[in-house]
Every structure is written in structure tokens, then in C-alpha cells.
Amino acid sequence: MINGISINYYLLLSTVLFIIGAVGVMARRNSIIIFMCIELMLNAVNLLLVSFSTLHNDASGQVFVFFIMAVAAAEVAVGLAILSMIYRNVKSIDTDLLSNLKK
Amino acid sequence: MKGLLIISALGIIAMLAEIFKFKKLLLPIVLLGIVAAYAFNFMEWNTSMSISYFDNMIAFDKMGIAFSGIILATAFFWFILANDYFEEDSNTVDHFALVLFALVGALMLTSFKNMTTLFLGIEIMSIPLYVLAASKKKDLKSNEAGFKYLIMGSFASAFLLFGIALVYGATGSFDIMQIRTYVSANSQSLPLFFNVGIVMLLVAMCFKVSAAPFHFWAPDVYEGSPTLITALMSTVVKTAAFAAFLRLFMVGFAGVSEMWTGVLAVVVALSLVIANFSAAMQNSVKRMLAFSSISHAAFMLMIILANVRSNLSVNALIYYSLAYSFGSIAAFGIVYNVTRNGNQNTDAFNGLAKRNPTMAFCMAVAMLSLAGIPITSGFFAKYFVFTAMITTPYKWLLILAVITSAVGAYYYLKVIIAMYFKTQVAETETIQVEKSQTLVIVLTTLVTLVIGIVPGLVANMFKV
């Protein structure tokens, strides 16, 4: 129980957020939206870690969140750089155009 | 630990090389640094059982040191091989730095003791590789490879993190030893989401080692990336990912093995079938090697699945990684030289025995080793897997493995037949290979043969 709310609700909320993100990554075609969906998945994890951290009265879960935030920033920086490189070559960020490698 | 610090320092030195204008000296410095790291790594072998650092975040025990040794040795050969990959581009030093930082991540993965270092190791290893995969800026295929690798890598990381969060929620700790103790003490009262967490960790690790059905990114990424980066991915990265996989599941979750061995058995079976049959249908050699690396992943996963007396499985995995890494370095070195004119199909190898007999012989040995034919190390690698598996209830996987290995022999032999029995149609010029590259290819081939003839050199390291 955290402030009178059962941990199950936190678990449910972050699972729902995570699934929305995962479905988004698989279904959407716009690269920027895909990045946003990955961020959503990571933030669902952050939410879960923070609530478990409060539940266990243990700060290490919250410290882990900082690591996730830093790494996510690095990942998105690299991702946007690759994306801008692709945009220069094909003038689009639609993932359907990225099928030059044989299936 | 000193090895890890040296490689990190080398990465920073590489970034300074542009400013202080010692670009030409960088390769010798890096090679020396790796040798020094290897030496320090080796010296820690005899000190004590395990020295832990940073509040037990990372600890170099014998298993970690052995895997670090394989990674550093592979990296050493890779850097000599990649000599001219670094020369053809204007951003040389950045590439050096990226590869070195990826190595830092790989070394962290061999010896993590905490979920934090597992996550950081995977990310430190992967993020430079996303950039390297996309490093041919004008080549759309390379861009696509980098992008796909990035999306799939971050997607897998998200699963890994969700798994970590659930396991943390159930056990209240990130430390794998504490998780192990907690799990064995409270095995009856673990919440349901602990199982979900373990399965998500398993899925994420299968993504990282590219086991079916989570392998679909691998052929595209392997084909699109520059050949030498593909070589790095299928040796160093694979070894590190498997070292992490073994440690996480053998140390952390051994007590609840009934939760994940069933899932893992399905993954192994799927990988064996899908990888070998798809590889047999490929024309591109790089794609063929990508599928072959998936089938090797299946064999290494069998070792984790067997989960027998820990020394036996650690031995088997170390021997397998060594045999596979060195065989792949030789194979990719030759593929890099043969496919330089842009033709990546098997027919690029036609008549190689006449055009460059040394390369043809080394390629033949590498292919035989990957196929697991006796006197090469690949045979004993598979033999150790089979001896580990025979004591488990999953004996049906062995039968499947033998059948699919027969299919595997077909596509490896296809390359050998092309080299020795087919004549080249268009041109008959010999293939020039740089002296340093020839040296690496011949040396790695020799290692493949020597540890195949005397497997005891490596296989008895953990005879405790």
C-alpha cells in the first residue's frame, strides 16, 4: 500500500502504458512516433520502479530511474542523428521506405 | 577491473587523438592498450576467487575473467583486421572511440553483479554499435541497418527494464546474489508478476543474442552494416551477451529454473529450425552468416538450458564462444576481402582456391569449424554442448540439433564447393589481401585448428 492505494493499481497502470508503447512501436509507421512510443515504454518502467521503491522503502529503485533517464536520452540522441541521416538520403521518415534489405 | 579501466582510458585517448594530432599513432596505442588490458586481466586470474568493486556492482570472478579474455583477444585481432576500415573514412578517431566504448560495455557484461550494471553494460555496448552499424553515411542500406538495430535494441531494452522492475518489485533488490537468496528462501510466496518478470528478461536477452523468434532484425542488420562491424557484432557482442545471459540465469534464477527452461527449450527449437533452413536458402554470404550465427546462438542457449553443474556449463560456453569467435573473425575477414567489389553472393567465392589459395584454405577451415566437422574446434564445441545436454530432460532437442546440423553442413559446404570446384566466369585476377590481414586470418584459423586438436587447452580451465 502506498498512500492507501494498493500496489496492484500502480502495476496495472504501468503495464497498460507499457503495452500502449509496445503496440505503438509495432504498428506505427512514422519514425518519430516510434521513438515516442519507446519513451513511453521506458517511462512506464520508471513509474513502476518508483512505486516499488516506495513500497519497499528502498532508494535504489529511484536511483535506477536516473540511469534509465540518462540512457534513454543518449539513445534518442543517437536515434535522431540516424534519422536525420536517413532523411537526407530519402527525404522521408516513413519506415515503409526502409525496406532495401531483402526479406 | 584494471582491464576495464584501461579500455575506458583508451576510448578517451582515442577521442583526444584528433585534437593533439596523433591519429597515425592511434592504432599501435590501441593494440598495446588491449595487450596491457589482457595482461592485467590475466593477472587477476590467480589472485582470489572474486574481487568486487563499487559496492558489489561489478566483480571479476574466474568466469568473468575468462570471458573478458576471449573478448579482448577477439578485439585485438579485430583491430588489426579493421586497419583499413579505419583509414577509408574521415572520422577515424570517432570510430576507434566507439568500438572501444562498446568493448567497455562488453567487459561490464561479463562480470556484472547487479541489475544496474547489467542494464548499463548492455546499453554502453549497444549504443556505439547503433552508430557503427549506420556508419556508411551515404549508403542507404547501412542507414537502414543502423535504424533497425536501434529500434529493435531499444525495444528489447524496454522489455529488459520491465523485467528488472518486476523482479525488483518481487524481491526488493537489484543484486543478483540477494535475488538468488530471496528466491530460494521464499519460493512458495513469490507473486505472479515475478514469473512475468523472468519471462520478460528471457525475451529481452533472446532479442540481444538474436535467437528465434526474436531474430528478425539480425539478418537485415548483419547484411546492411559494414562487413567488419558485422564481424564485431557476431563475435564480441555475442560473447558478451551470452556471458551476461549465463550469469543472470545461472546465478540469479537457477533456483526457479522450472519457470524458464520450458520457454527456453521452445526458443532453442525454433532457432535451430528457422536459422538452418533460412540459411540454406540465402544467396548473400553475409546473410548466410547471420542465420548461421542464430543457429550458433541456439547451441549456446542449450548450454544455459542444460544448467548442469556450473563448472561444466561455464566450460562449455567458454569453449564454444572461443571457437565461434575465432572462426567468425577468420570467416568475416575473408568475406570482407572477397566481397570488396560489391558482389556479396556465394558466387563471389567461385574459384578462390586458384585466385588466393591461402584465403581459400582458411575459409574452408572456418566453414568446417562453424559446421562442426572434427579436428576443427567447432566439433568439440558441439560435443561439449551435447555432453551437457544429455543429462537434462530435454533430450529431444539433441535429436533436432543433429538433424538441423546436417542441413547446416549443406550451406557451409556450398561455400567450399564454390571455392574449390567452380571456376570464375568473368575475371581471373588474384585477390590481394593486406599482409596484416593475412596474418590475422591465418592466426585465427590456426587457433581454430589447435584448440580443435587439443581441446584440453581451454576445456579444463574450470576443472575444480
pLDDT at A20: 96
B168 interfaces chain A, CB cutoff of 8 Å: yes
Residue bearing cell 536459422 = B275
How many beta-carbon pairs under 8 angstroms link A with B? 119
The CA distance from B295 to B432, in Å, is 32
| 8 Å CB contact of A78 and B130 | yes
Domain-embedded: residue A101: no
Task: Give contacts of A24 with chain B, Cβ < 8 Å.
Answer: none
Please report the pLDDT score of residue B357 as a whole number: 86
Please judge whether B224 and A101 are an interchain contact, meaning their C-beta atoms are less than 8 angstroms apart.
yes
Instruction: Residue B326: name the closest of B365, B280, B285, B268 by CA.
Output: B365
Minimal C-alpha gap between A9 and chain B (Å): 13
Best probe of the B interface among A18, A30, A101, by most B CBs < 10 A, is A101
% of chain B surpassing 70 pLDDT: 95
Total domains, chain A: 1
Q: Dump the DSSP string for A30-98.
A: BHHHHHHHHHHHHHHHHHHHHHHHHHHT-THHHHHHHHHHHHHHHHHHHHHHHHHHHHHHHS--BGGG-
- Predicted pLDDT of residue B464: 43
- Tell me the pLDDT tens digit for each residue of A37-95: 999 999 999 999 999 999 999 999 999 999 999 999 999 999 999 999 999 888 888 88
With an 8 Å Cβ cutoff, are A75 and B150 in contact? yes
Look at residue B391 in the predicted model and tell me its pLDDT: 81
pLDDT given at position B427 = 58
Residue of A nearest to B150 (CA): A79
Q: Which residues of chain A does B140 touch, with a Cβ-Cβ cutoff of 8 Å?
A: 86, 89-90, 100
| A102 pLDDT higher than 90 | no
SS3 B202: helix
Q: Using CB atoms within 10 A of its CB, is residue A33 exposed (0-12), middle (13-18) or buried (19+)? A: middle
Are residues A89 and B158, on separate chains, in Cβ contact within 8 Å? no
Alpha-helix runs per DSSP H in B339-434: 352-355, 357-371, 377-389, 395-421
The model carries a pTM of 0.92
Grid cell listed for B63: 568466469
| Whole-number Cα distances in Å, B34 to A78, B3, B40, B122, B383 | 27, 8, 10, 21, 32
CB contact under 8 A, B130 and A79: yes
B-chain residues near A85 (CB < 8 A): 134, 137, 143
Contacting residues of A for B156, CB less than 8 Å apart: none
Count of CB atoms situated within 10 Å of the CB of B28: 10
What residues have CB less than 8 Å from B181, skipping those under 6 apart?
Answer: none
**Which residues in chain A have their CB less than 8 angstroms from residue B286's CB?**
none
Residues of A in contact with B137 (CB under 8 A): 85
- The SS3 call for residue B60 is strand
Cβ neighbours for B54, distance < 8 A, ≥ 6 positions apart: none
* Predicted local distance difference test score (pLDDT) of residue B52: 80
Q: How far is A94 from chain B (nearest CA, A)?
A: 12
Output the pLDDT for position B2. 85
Note whether residue A69 is domain-resident: yes
Q: How far apart are CA B95 and CA B416, in angstroms?
A: 33
Cβ under 8 Å to A: B residues 93-152: 115-116, 119-120, 123, 127, 130-131, 134, 137-138, 140-141, 143-148, 150-151
Domain harbouring A76, CATH code: 1.10.287.3510
Closest partner CB to B146 (pick from A22, A63, A82) = A82
**Residue A99 belongs to a domain:** no
Phi then psi dihedrals of residue B345, to 5 deg: -85, 170
Which of B140, B154, B161 is the closest to A100 by Cβ? B140
Residue in A closest to B143 by C-alpha: A86
Distance of alpha carbon B3 from alpha carbon B71, whole angstroms: 11
For B123, the closest of A56, A63, A71 (CB atoms) is: A71
- For residue A24, the enclosing domain spans 7-94
Residue spans of chain B under pLDDT 70: 47-49, 86-90, 308-310, 424-430, 459, 461-464
For residue B429, give the DSSP letter.
P
Least Cα separation, residue B220 to chain A (angstroms):
6
* Cα of B342 to nearest chain A Cα, Å: 15
Which of B338, B332, B327, B333 has the alpha carbon at shortest distance from B432? Answer: B338
Helix axes A7-27, A31-56, angle to 10 degrees: 160
pLDDT digits (tens, 9 = 90+) for B32-56: 999 999 998 888 877 666 778 888 8
User: How confident is the model at residue A95, as a pLDDT?
Assistant: 80
Please check whether residue A2 lies inside any domain of the structure: no
- Tell whether B344 lies on the interface with A, counting CB pairs under 8 A: no
Distance CA B309, CA B295 (A): 24
